[in-house]
């Protein structure tokens, strides 16, 4: 399906532009294909539970046949598969939502922020055995502390006399600012693990290598 759709997109322009536009169209076609093949998982799960409930009622009444028991076993297996698919879908959506929206605006989230703010708050400083909470005194003592810690001395104690540093050749220096070639990009992609994906809702490197 992917190969057939990929070859059917008639885009013109550079290779990168065609690749980008094809990826956009393929993503939309995959959504349509997923809906046609798998359908709505929640609806399928609800319908399967209703069918299992019918067989359970027949079992309680003592009218469940062996053929019906076999059908119920198949439905239970299907229900487990739907649960796995639903769990996988929830995990994928959670990763996308995390990258898109970040932390949810919940009571737990804000209570955690308040706790961290109170924990990191500097309420006062002790100077000469006395406790001060005035903001001006706290700022002044903090300034003195960091000035003492990070104040540079006149003699750093480092000597670089007589040390020969390695330098890049002219050819290597020019290669650092050269335009990337198609072979270099291909080599980088081929060195990546095939099952990895640049982002949660992207295509993995197996797809990129094959396409």
- Total Cβ atoms within 10 A of residue 82: 19
Q: How confident is the model at residue 170 (pLDDT cuts 50, 70, 90)?
A: very high
In 3D, which of 89, 71, 75, 68 has the Cα closest to residue 45?
75
Q: What average pLDDT does range 118-128 have in this prediction?
A: 84
Buried b / exposed e along 33-54 (16+ C-beta atoms within 10 A): eeeeeeeeeeebbeebeeebee
Q: Residue 173, Cα to own-chain centre: how many angstroms?
A: 36
**Threshold 0.75, pTM exceeds:** no
In the predicted structure, residue 101 carries a pLDDT above the cut 60: no
| 153 vs 5, higher pLDDT | 5
Q: Supply the pLDDT for residue 172.
A: 92
Quick one: tokens of 172? 């290597």
Give the integer Cα–Cα distance in Å for 67 and 71: 6
Domain boundaries, the chain: 38-126, 177-211
């Amino acid at each position: 399906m992917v190969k057939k759709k990929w070859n059917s997109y008639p885009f013109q322009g550079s290779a990168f532009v065609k690749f980008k536009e094809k990826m956009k169209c393929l993503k939309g076609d995959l959504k349509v294909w997923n809906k046609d093949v798998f359908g709505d998982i929640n609806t399928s799960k609800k319908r399967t539970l209703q069918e299992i409930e019918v067989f359970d009622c027949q079992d309680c009444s003592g009218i469940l046949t062996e053929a019906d028991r076999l059908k119920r076993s198949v439905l239970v297996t299907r229900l487990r598969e739907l649960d796995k698919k639903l769990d996988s879908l929830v995990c994928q959506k959670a990763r996308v939502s995390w990258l898109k929206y970040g932390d949810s605006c919940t009571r737990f989230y804000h209570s955690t922020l308040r706790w961290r703010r109170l924990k990191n708050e500097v309420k006062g400083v002790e100077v000469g055995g006395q406790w001060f909470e005035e903001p001006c005194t706290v700022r002044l003592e903090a300034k003195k502390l960091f000035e003492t810690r990070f104040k540079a001395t006149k003699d750093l104690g480092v000597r670089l006399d007589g040390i020969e540093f390695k330098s890049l050749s002219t050819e290597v220096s020019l290669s650092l600012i050269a335009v990337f070639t198609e072979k270099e990009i291909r080599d980088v992609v081929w060195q990546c693990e095939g099952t990895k994906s640049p982002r949660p809702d992207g295509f993995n490197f197996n797809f990129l290598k094959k396409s």
